[in-house]
Amino acid sequence: MAAGTPGDDVRVSVLITSYDHEAFIGQAIEGVLEQRGVGPIELVVGDDCSSDGTRAVIEGYARRHPGRVVPFFPERNMGGGGKALYAELVRRSRGRFIAGMDGDDYWTSPDKLATQLDHLDRTPGCTMVFHNAVRRTDDGSVPDALYNPPDQARTIPYADWFEQNPVASCTPVFRREVLDPLPPWYLELPWGDLPLYLLAAAEGEVHYLPDVMGVYRLHGGGMFSGLSALRQETLDVEFFRGLSGVVPPQHDRYRRRRLAVAEARLAHQLALTGDHQAAADHLAESFRTWPLDVPRLRPGRGELRRVALWLDLHTRSRGRWSRDGGAAR
């Protein structure tokens, strides 16, 4: 059967995206090879032209496990922070379900896939299921901690994705129809994980399992953790702006409120650098996007944080601020 053609002979495809993960990729692959009780597994490992020895490690596993480990090595970096590579792996995969992870994370339970696939089989309205994981700092500077708290909700409504993202990226399993094909706008956004969860939430229910079955690794080479706070907030603004026209109309008010929070957080970071004019502009845009006098949709930490940031920036500014967030001239 041709690659990329879904078939009954492959129940689940596992997609691993890697870039400069020589020290980690072996552990990621091993966790997939140890899975049991799920029938045929297709493991596709894509490397986005790493500058270290990642490809050599992947090639070694492909030689030792022919037909079980399928490498994909593009001739040049595909760009987009790994999103283009992921989209290509989705296109090439054949499984009725799709799991995945970055090459620096790994699974710790050989029953991870069996547990999640059983849940999906029993709940046809569920389009994606994820689980708890350990958040681990690679240098040991911070003690291990669980990614999700004990009171994590078991079902995540669409609106809640704009409050916070509760998913460690090594944990979800999707129904294939959620991700294939990925829409063109996916490649245009800064972040690659949350759009996948929004696609799943738009098609059905997203469920959480409290089982701890993976490790989400934090290290200096990580795509997100390696960014400055200013860059992170800038990309957040770009992300929630970019979702305009993508989010279903009945939910767009949640996107706008989250964009307002992102604008305020960016304003705060700009103020810390001393760029008070740019901070004023973004704070004004925050309150134009979601004024304070708009009725609250529901209690949320993001909205409270936005007000706290407004007060902080107001204190830092030498000028006087009007109620809509604009600086008095």
Q: Which of 252, 247, 147 lies closest to 198, judged by CA?
A: 247
The confidence band for 11, taking pLDDT boundaries of 50, 70 and 90, is very high
Cβ atoms within 10 Å, residue 105: 25
Confidence at 4, pLDDT banded by 50, 70, 90:
low
pTM: 0.88
Beta pairing, strands 205-218 & 106-107: antiparallel
Q: What is the pLDDT of residue 270?
A: 92
Cα gap 233→238, rounded to integer Å:
9
Residue 64 CB partners (closer than 8 Å, separation 6+):
none
| pLDDT confidence of residue 280 | 84
Predicted confidence band of residue 298 (pLDDT cuts 50, 70, 90): low
- Cα separation, 10 vs 4, whole angstroms: 11
Radius of gyration of the chain (CA): 21
- pLDDT at position 329 is 27
Query: What's the CA gap between 23 and 316, in Å, rounded?
Result: 44
pLDDT tens per residue across span 203-258: 999 999 999 999 999 976 555 556 899 999 999 999 999 999 999 999 999 999 99
User: Under 8 Å CB-to-CB from 311, ≥6 apart: which residues?
Assistant: none
Q: Helix-strand-coil percent breakdown of the chain, rounded to 5?
A: 40, 20, 40
Question: Collapsing DSSP states into helix, strand and coil, what is residue 142?
Answer: coil
Question: Residue 276 and residue 267: Cα distance in Å, rounded?
Answer: 8
Q: Which two tokens stand for residue 94?
A: 């054949």
Q: State what percent of residues in the chain have pLDDT above 70.
A: 85
The average pLDDT across 182-207 equals 96
Three-state DSSP at 308 gives helix
The candidate with the shortest Cα–Cα distance to 191, out of 252, 239, 241, is 239
Token pair, residue 188, equals 């245009």
Residue 42 backbone dihedrals phi, psi, to 5 degrees: -100, 120
Instruction: For residue range 52-93, list pLDDT tens digits in order.
Output: 999 999 999 999 999 999 999 999 999 998 999 999 999 999
Residue 101: predicted pLDDT: 97
Query: Mean pLDDT over residues 6-32, rounded?
Result: 92
Q: What percent of the chain has pLDDT over 90?
A: 75
E-assigned strand segments in the chain: 12-18, 41-47, 69-72, 97-102, 106-107, 126-137, 145-146, 173-175, 205-218
